[in-house]
Amino acid sequence: MTRPIALLLLSSVLAACAPDDTTPAPIVLTDGLGREVTLAAPAARVVSLAPSNTELLYEVGAGAQVVGCDEFSDFPAEASALPRVGGSAGTYDADAIVALAPNLVLAAEINTAAQVEALEARGLTVFYLSNPDDLTGLFENMRTVGALTGRSAQATALISSLTTRVEAIIAKLSMITTHYNVYYELDATDPTMPYTAGPGSYIHTLLERAGDHNIGGSLSVPFGQLSAAEIIAQNPDFIVLGDGAYGVTPESVGARPGWSDLNAVRDGHVVVFDDDTVSRPTARIVDAIENLARLFHPEVFP
């Protein structure tokens, strides 16, 4: 081989092995406020302003990229060690957020448009993640969080796994022959007019998906009050206490005037339930569907 040809071949090999200096394309996504948000690269430092956002970040594998969160983020356990940036009474410490030098602040519907604007005025990039209305919307949020953090592959794998679980639940529920009236309690500070979930809420969707009838379906709003008289008249077969964390117990429900003769109370079907699994739109929603279906229909969910 002559020297010029050898040098030419060597140059070709070196060129093929040289690093690609092409700048990656920026990430451009439209958030829940209809704003086009651009990231030059996946966010390496993220501050979450809502518990649901914090859970989603960990679920798609971006937990190590979270450098701060609101004070109510308590799941997974690792989130407890994160610096807190406020959130109580809807107020946040903008100085604390800026000090964490995030590439991205992930807001949610508990945040206002004015709060988003104020943080952006401090030079921060903020993405507002809307609450989903159904599982399709939840999965889309997972894809979005995955894209913002460079975890798209993990988000896709998570969605595939959750979809498989939901399909299995649906297949089992197709075998049930008995359907129940269910009352889900959110807040009984006034036990004569407790709050429950109606159409348009995740809880209503989950109860109906679990194969049963939500008596809160008579509401015209996602969350509202039903009179104790109406609940008694509908005579629920199951009472699910989403307010159990605030001291409401099956015994205290049975002691309410007129409630002792309800099917749910008589049959021992008043249960305390982890409301976080249904009020936070995260992967734990699927856990909630499984747990509710197992509660109502143990005959097909051993």
pLDDT 10s digits, 224-272: 999 999 999 999 999 999 999 999 999 999 999 999 999 999 999 999 9
Q: Which of 102, 132, 165 is the last residue of a domain?
A: 165
Distance CA 71, CA 86 (A): 6
The 3-state DSSP class for residue 46 equals strand
- For position 100, what pLDDT does the model report? 98
Give mean pLDDT, residues 145-153: 98
83 in any annotated domain: yes
Three-class DSSP category at 38 = strand
C-alpha to C-alpha distance for 152 and 149, rounded to whole angstroms? 8
Asked whether residue 155 falls in the same domain as residue 183, the answer is no
| Same-domain status, 31 and 158 | yes
Confidence grade of residue 2 (pLDDT, cut at 50, 70, 90): very low
Whether 214 has a pLDDT exceeding 50, the answer reads yes
Q: Note whether residue 115 is domain-resident.
A: yes
pLDDT reading at 293 higher than 70: yes
Average pLDDT over residues 192-201: 94
Please state, in angstroms and rounded to a whole number, the distance separating the CA atoms of residues 277 and 286.
Answer: 8
- CB contact at 8 A, 272 and 252: no
Residue with tokens 């109860």: 207
Contact criterion met (CB below 8 Å) for 285 and 206: yes
Whether residues 141 and 199 share a domain: the answer is: no
Assess if residue 287 is contained within a domain: yes
301 or 53, which is more confident?
53
Boundaries of domain holding 235: 178-296
175-193 pLDDT, tens digit per residue, is 888 889 999 999 999 999 9
Cβ–Cβ under 8 Å, residues 55 and 283: yes
Of 104, 133, 165, the one marking the end of a domain is 165
**What sign has the CA pseudo-torsion 117, 74, 57, 204?**
negative
**Reported confidence tier of residue 207, pLDDT bands at 50, 70, 90:** confident
Instruction: Give how many domains the chain has, as a whole number.
Output: 2
Helix (H) or strand (E) holding 104: strand 104-108
Q: Which two tokens stand for residue 222?
A: 């996602």
Same domain, 187 and 256: yes
Residues 124 and 199 placed together within one structural domain of the fold: no
119 and 234 together in one domain: no
Assigned domain for 20 exists: no
Whether residues 265 and 158 fall in one domain? no
pLDDT for res 273? 95
With respect to residue 56, please indicate whether it lies within any of the assigned structural domains: yes
Asked, for residue 2, whether it belongs to a domain, the answer is no
If you average pLDDT over residues 187-204, what whole number do you get? 93
Residues 218 and 283 occupy one common structural domain: yes
239 beta partners: 183, 270
Same domain, 191 and 132: no
Which pLDDT score, from 0 to 100, does residue 22 have? 56
- CATH number, domain containing residue 79: 3.40.50.1980
Pick from 124, 141, 165: which residue ends a domain?
165
- Note whether 120 and 194 are same-domain residues: no
> Looking at residue 92, what is its pLDDT?
96
Is pLDDT of 69 > 90? yes
Max Cα–Cα distance, the chain, nearest Å = 102
Distance, C-alpha 148 to centroid of its chain: 17
Q: Does 146 lie in the same domain as 77?
A: yes
* 59 in the same domain as 160: yes
Kindly report, residue by residue over 80-130, the tens digit of the pLDDT.
999 999 998 889 999 999 999 999 999 999 999 999 999 999 999 999 999
pLDDT in tens, 8-60: 333 333 344 444 445 678 999 999 999 999 999 999 999 999 999 999 999 99
| pLDDT at position 278 | 87
